[in-house]
Amino acid sequence: MSQIARLGTAVLFASLCVGVTQFAFAADPPKGAPPGAAAGSEVPAGATLPPDRVKPVKGLQMGVRGTVGRKLAGREAGLPLSDFAGAKSITSAAWKKMRKIPKTGLFIVDADYVPGNFRESLTEEGYAMDAKGNITDREGNQKAIFILPQTYEMKGQRQGWLERFQKDASNAIVGEAKAGNPHHFACYSASAWLVYSNGFCRYWDLKTKGWAYGPKAGGGCGWPVPATNISTIQVWAWIHGHAYKEASCANCSSKGVTATWDIGCFWPAYGGALLENYAHLQDNDPAHGNPRADAYWVWSP
């Protein structure tokens, strides 16, 4: 092998290594190192576990890593709670202290807004909310929905030669995915849902949802904003010891996934479990710094 060929091979190897180990600007960085625990029997063979998992600690860990900028709240992030009868804003600490989970209702955890697409999400899930705030499924079973939302502006950064080289090398392997269409990836929203079914038979539905949006008219974020397709969305929902689900899409604006734990019938207590939710959104758009947002929630309600 010639000296030039060896040099080219070394540069490609170094570039790919940096692509694996480099970590983007982080907002609300996680506590602890990624855990090395093996997956349980609920995780199917061949599953792709979330990268950069967060080490569980006592209490809720929630945040977003990647090229995210300003965190949004209130009316800028979504809809006011007053738009939904009976909706309540509670802290994660208050939730954990609940001795009895309500049979129905909407509870927003550690946030002061309802995700802007909540009405559409209800319809997609087959749920309905009446004028008193009661939530039911298609069979009329009552649901209590607890949502932990996160909404950010993206902080795109233009690429240098090394990042462009990494992207070109990656594209040679997996192919090029389209950049944001019809808008660039400017705004990010993701939510973890825990839906309780409190009938004779009890179960949990753990949901993870991620959405990509373009800028609003005039620029910037702030509800309402238009949906836009980005290169990749991956979502995970994991109830340790009971259920695991993952899903992904390419050139899409949103993706959701649900893991269900069938607790049983005629059993008064829910018990507990470690929960992990992740939503990774990325756009191959060098003009806007290849924006990426990786949301996580690691918790035991």
Rounded Cα distance, 10 and 33, in Å: 30
CB 247 within 8 A of CB 257: yes
Instruction: Give me the chain's average pLDDT, please.
Output: 82
Whole-prediction pTM: 0.81
pLDDT tens-digit readout, 229-245 = 999 999 999 999 999 99
Left if phi > 0, otherwise alpha if psi is -120 to 50, otherwise beta: which for 219? left
Contacts for 301 with CB less than 8 Å, ≥ 6 apart: 95, 96, 146, 194, 272, 275
CA dist list (Å): 125 to 105, 120, 221: 15, 9, 26
Grade residue 180 by pLDDT with cuts at 50, 70 and 90.
confident
Q: Which two tokens stand for residue 237?
A: 């929902």
Grade residue 33 by pLDDT with cuts at 50, 70 and 90.
very low
Give residue 24's pLDDT.
35
Rounded Cα distance, 154 and 145, in Å: 28
Grade residue 137 by pLDDT with cuts at 50, 70 and 90.
very high
Contacts for 206 with CB less than 8 Å, ≥ 6 apart: 192, 193, 194, 195, 237, 238, 239, 243, 258, 259, 260, 261, 275, 277
Give residue 265's pLDDT.
77
Rounded Cα distance, 22 and 12, in Å: 15
Domain ranges of the chain: 59-299
In DSSP notation, 208-260 reads EEEEEE-PPTTSS--SS--B-BEEEEEEEEEETTTEEEEEEEEEESEEEEEEE
- Considering all CA atoms of the chain, what is the largest pairwise distance in Å, rounded to the nearest integer? 76
Place of tokens 């974020």: 221
The H or E element containing residue 106 is strand 105-109
pLDDT tens-digit readout, 270-299 = 567 899 999 999 999 999 999 999 999 999
Rounded Cα distance, 77 and 149, in Å: 9
pLDDT at 47 over 50: yes
